Structure 1
């Protein structure tokens, strides 16, 4: 509570007296040390708090920040702290901490995250273009992050009309940043004369008072959740040409004229009308309809995401009300499927690679040997997007993609640093209840007891954190819970010429027709009766790694039953290229009721089995931004 000084007359005299006034804001402080003591008082929690010393795997994979260079560096610089496994390392989550309308990152780091040098990692070396008509700043020229010999550096017409000879700068570490900010003179108050010298660092952050702060290479992490949402919004709004949101409208074309690039896309005046020739990302009306209809027809497993159909507004052919998790699911699963039969091949591949990249960096276990390849992939994707999208597409959030892998290398997996757990914990504070936990049946005793001859059948069943429906129930529901996959090992000849036997793992795709529950004396065993897709004629994988199935080709009818614990959840999305086929996407488990576990953000499986290197880069110096397969420009 604030103490307010007021003017008050006493016996005819005017004097200042401190009295209690109404508080403008109230700050509640919950002591953290007693909370830590209570954690160590519980045996299971105490074991988890020292997991990094006693329970972790030691290999080449990044599973936790303990595997990261930044964690190890603190251990080296402060050995007395690092040697005690019970010492805790905490992070400060600042999601929704946005006082006075400023950006949270700038408030805490004291870096100016607005203007020409908005990237806190590139700093003065941020490449920017002030767009006259768009009246915003574009952050482009990502070719400077490529190696010197990369062919993209020599291309002109494909990009901004110039070769790229500049080399990206090396990010500053904590000690170098501290040298820049330690002598900044701060003058408080509007009436005080302020320094004429401009500095992208507004002041020295109070966190530098901590003895270890300048030893950190990454002091403020980029939130991948918000980056992914903003990138998804840019892509969707530009593809569907949503009024007031698209990055490819009239002002964007006027900026192309001023920059003297992509003359084929310059505005044309036909009579009293203004015509924008179709760019490579301009969808025809039929393509927009296909885009929206494909998303409308998606039925996901229960607990997978919100109702996707509710996001589609068919009347205006646009998406509305996209939340962070909607964008996460779109980027990591649905978008590559939706665009399979629309857009030119080159831009379709670029967007697919972007989705694959986000899926790769969100993995909970990362191979450190592949991080350099992943970083090069991010740079290549941004360069390809520059080929196809206008400069106005590249706001600061799109640019930050180039730095995401660096933070994985230094700090560990993203899932422990993004804002999904924080936002979900806020829901707990608001009183939302999670799904009820259902214990698993004991499978060990199933062979020792004889089952009851009476069988109970179900239309839906929850087990192993999965929810299963029969196909009949699926057809009546807005979700899809009847698709399952079973992984099985089979022995066969290596080839027609090589008769050596080899063991391989194969996936069998099924649709649940009935659910049985067999009652034993002490437990119940659920069985799924399924139709199985013929693996010879009903399953194939295309050149981009999509697995497609023909659900009408049923085989292996002799053994229709499988045990529920053996299967993985998947669902099928109708292929927009051929309605006879369906794209297979992997499902995931529902949240449990334990509050701590419900905060976790489930890892989203990849929609494709194709690696980055299997997709060829376009290295021809030609114009890629124009579209020639239809003439439906924008009026």
Structure 2
């Protein structure tokens, strides 16, 4: 196993494997150790976080000494205490660890043709590669090492469209060829409704339509829930009439008029899409692959109620976890909008979402919402809203999968706070003795005669 694989195994997969197998006190200290390395190896660090990590690793090693035999504590285990001070002096380890060096050494070993003289082969191959790279700088119109696209090239293709929309600027890039297809009435309604309700320029017209419904009501005033249902059903028909009103039509931007007319029945789909630093693939596309790029994560401000009998609609930021089923591109004549169709797990109840004592979130995809088989379902999101996660099957709980959050390879946080979902900071003190009563002597060892 490669060193980098061991690094990922300890930081990400080991806590998932042991969380329901070992006793709680053993699991807590091992997850604490894995969390220490995961946060220490983050791309961005702050002095306050490092001071907190320094205090935590001391207690973690004390707990390890209680659980493991003395032979486990070599000098390498002790050196973990000094890693925080090293990070303060040298900066984030992400920028100076050995993984890029090791990969480059593997590249140099590929130059060896004469095994009797490996150093000479590497020197000749290196000089030849540098000379070719230098000469390629004077050649135009071809791809070279200097102008090669990034590993996940999510810059939109400028030649794909003749104009740029002010409402939906192009974002991301499709991987592979598009396939044309005709939208069904239900798919067109679902996709167009989501685009309308998630467009900031349409928000004032939604509020205007709600005010119109309030004024139109006679007798019993409708509840907020009833108003929301009417908006979801009738706004798409009211909005074009409002935009095309001769009194205001001349002041409406062209892109908003294109949006009000709705998308063309002719759309395109693809099976892979690069956006937000990730390469997303549909579940069907990655069938048989060893990698998983179909997990989608979204935090959305959603109107919700406490129960079916509750008439007070509230805005709340809800977590949505899903699997990517389809990628479609709507054509609004003047611009295009890319949507992801996903199978969404029900994260509003304990039957579809739970978080254990170790801070890991689990999803049950046997409990899904918005499957798209009804017109009032919303299985679509804008591609620009999607973030990537991957799911690890829980071997002890059928149908449940543990969520692991990801960050793009080329994303660097400059002073922003660490996402607590990606780097959970759990308090495991409940599984240990109080620090004041912590015994540093193994009480289960027999006395020597």
Shorter-chain TM-score tier: 0.5 to 0.7
The answer (yes or no) to whether the contact 2:295–2:390 under 8 Å persists in 1 is yes
Matches within 5 A, 1:258-337: 322-337=1-16
Q: Which runs of 5+ in 2 are unaligned?
A: 111-128, 130-144, 158-163, 169-254, 307-311, 372-376, 413-417
Q: 1:584 and 2:403 equivalent? A: yes
Q: 1:506 to 1:476 in 2, by over 3 A?
A: same
Q: 1:415 to 1:606 in 2, by over 3 A?
A: farther
Partner of residue 527 from structure 1, selected from 321, 339, 363: 339
Matches within 5 A, 1:562-577: 562-577=381-396
Q: 1:393 to 1:614 in 2, by over 3 A?
A: closer
Name the SS for the 1:473 alignment partner.
coil
Q: 1:608 to 1:435 in 2, by over 3 A?
A: closer
CA-CA distance at 1:339 after TM superposition: 1.1
The answer (yes or no) to whether the contact 1:544–1:610 under 8 Å persists in 2 is no
Please name the residue that 1:609 is paired with.
Answer: 424
TM-score, normalised to structure 1, is 0.41
Q: 1:436 to 1:506 in 2, by over 3 A?
A: closer
Please name the residue that 1:347 is paired with.
Answer: 26
Please name the residue that 1:544 is paired with.
Answer: 358
Partner of residue 435 from structure 1, selected from 135, 138, 151: 151
Q: Which runs of 5+ in 1 are unaligned?
A: 1-321, 495-499, 598-602, 627-635
Q: 1:556 to 1:526 in 2, by over 3 A?
A: same
CA-CA distance at 1:362 after TM superposition: 1.8
The answer (yes or no) to whether the contact 1:359–1:604 under 8 Å persists in 2 is no
Q: 1:440 to 1:614 in 2, by over 3 A?
A: farther
Please name the residue that 1:464 is paired with.
Answer: 276
Q: 1:504 to 1:403 in 2, by over 3 A?
A: farther
Please give the alpha-carbon distance, in whole angstroms, between the structure 2 residues aligned to 1:624 and 1:504.
51
CA-CA distance at 1:455 after TM superposition: 1.6
The answer (yes or no) to whether the contact 1:545–1:608 under 8 Å persists in 2 is no
Root mean square deviation, CA, Å: 3.6
CA-CA distance at 1:445 after TM superposition: 4.5
Q: 1:401 and 2:95 equivalent? A: no
Please give the alpha-carbon distance, in whole angstroms, between the structure 2 residues aligned to 1:340 and 1:587.
20
Name the SS for the 2:79 alignment partner.
helix
Q: 1:518 to 1:373 in 2, by over 3 A?
A: same
Q: 1:369 and 2:36 equivalent? A: no
Number of equivalenced pairs: 292
CA-CA distance at 1:484 after TM superposition: 0.3
Please give the alpha-carbon distance, in whole angstroms, between the structure 1 residues aligned to 2:432 and 2:424.
18
Matches within 5 A, 1:484-523: 484-490=296-302, 505-519=317-331
CA-CA distance at 1:465 after TM superposition: 2.8
1:504-536 Cα offsets, whole Å, 9 max, x none, are: 533211111212123455764321111111122
The answer (yes or no) to whether the contact 2:24–2:431 under 8 Å persists in 1 is no
Please give the alpha-carbon distance, in whole angstroms, between the structure 2 residues aligned to 1:422 and 1:323.
13
Please give the alpha-carbon distance, in whole angstroms, between the structure 1 residues aligned to 2:276 and 2:79.
38
Matches within 5 A, 1:241-256: none
Q: 1:493 to 1:435 in 2, by over 3 A?
A: closer
Q: 1:606 to 1:532 in 2, by over 3 A?
A: closer
Q: 1:618 and 2:433 equivalent? A: yes
Please name the residue that 1:175 is paired with.
Answer: none
CA-CA distance at 1:325 after TM superposition: 1.6
Name the SS for the 1:366 alignment partner.
coil
Please name the residue that 1:290 is paired with.
Answer: none
Partner of residue 356 from structure 1, selected from 35, 44, 56: 35
Q: 1:623 to 1:345 in 2, by over 3 A?
A: farther
TM-score, normalised to structure 2, is 0.56
CA-CA distance at 1:486 after TM superposition: 0.6
The answer (yes or no) to whether the contact 1:356–1:606 under 8 Å persists in 2 is no
Please give the alpha-carbon distance, in whole angstroms, between the structure 2 residues aligned to 1:604 and 1:328.
20
Please name the residue that 1:478 is paired with.
Answer: 290
Please give the alpha-carbon distance, in whole angstroms, between the structure 2 residues aligned to 1:624 and 1:471.
53
The answer (yes or no) to whether the contact 1:493–1:501 under 8 Å persists in 2 is yes
Q: 1:435 to 1:609 in 2, by over 3 A?
A: closer
Choose between structure 1 and 2: higher helix proportion: 2
